[in-house]
Amino acid sequence: MGWKRIRAVYEVDSSLELPYRFSATELAGNFSLSSNKASTLYQYLHTSSKTYESYKAQGIHILTPFDNDYPSRLSQIYDPPWVLYAKGNIDFLHTSSSLGVVGTRTPTTYGKEALQYLLPSSINKGSAIVSGMAKGTDTLAHKLAIKEQGRTIAVLGSGFHHIYPRENEGLFNHMAVNHLLLTEYPPYIPPRKWQFPMRNRIISGLSDVIFVSEAGERSGSLITAYQGLEQGKEVRTLPGSVFSSMSKGTNKLIKEGAAPVVLPEDLLQ
pLDDT over 90, % of the chain: 78
| Res. 49: pLDDT tops 80 | no
**In a shared domain, residues 151 and 227:** yes
**In a shared domain, residues 127 and 230:** yes
**In a shared domain, residues 94 and 212:** yes
**In a shared domain, residues 42 and 101:** no
| Res. 48: pLDDT tops 80 | no
Residue range of the domain that includes 233? 90-267
**In a shared domain, residues 24 and 112:** no
**In a shared domain, residues 38 and 116:** no
Confidence class of residue 225 from pLDDT cuts 50, 70 and 90?
very high
Question: What is the enclosing helix (H) or strand (E) of 55?
Answer: helix 48-57
The CA distance from 133 to 156, in Å, is 7
Question: Can you tell me the mean pLDDT for 45-51?
Answer: 78
> How high is the pLDDT of residue 252?
96
**In a shared domain, residues 1 and 129:** no
- Asked if the structure places residue 65 within a domain, the reply is no
**In a shared domain, residues 134 and 214:** yes
pLDDT over 70, % of the chain: 99
> How high is the pLDDT of residue 10?
81
Which pLDDT tens digit goes with each residue over 186-216?
Answer: 999 999 999 999 999 999 999 999 999 999 9
- What are the two backbone dihedrals, phi and then psi, of residue 101, each rounded to the nearest 5 degrees? -125, 120
Confidence class of residue 18 from pLDDT cuts 50, 70 and 90?
confident
- Asked if the structure places residue 61 within a domain, the reply is no
**In a shared domain, residues 120 and 246:** yes
- Asked if the structure places residue 68 within a domain, the reply is no
**In a shared domain, residues 24 and 110:** no
- Asked if the structure places residue 135 within a domain, the reply is yes
- Asked if the structure places residue 170 within a domain, the reply is yes
Strand partners, 130: 100, 153
**In a shared domain, residues 11 and 104:** no
Q: Long-range CB contacts (< 8 A, 24+ apart) of 62-69?
A: 62/86, 63/90, 69/93, 69/94
- Asked if the structure places residue 59 within a domain, the reply is no
**In a shared domain, residues 41 and 103:** no
Which pLDDT tens digit goes with each residue over 72-116?
Answer: 999 999 889 999 999 999 999 999 999 999 999 999 999 999 999
Overall number of domains in the chain = 2
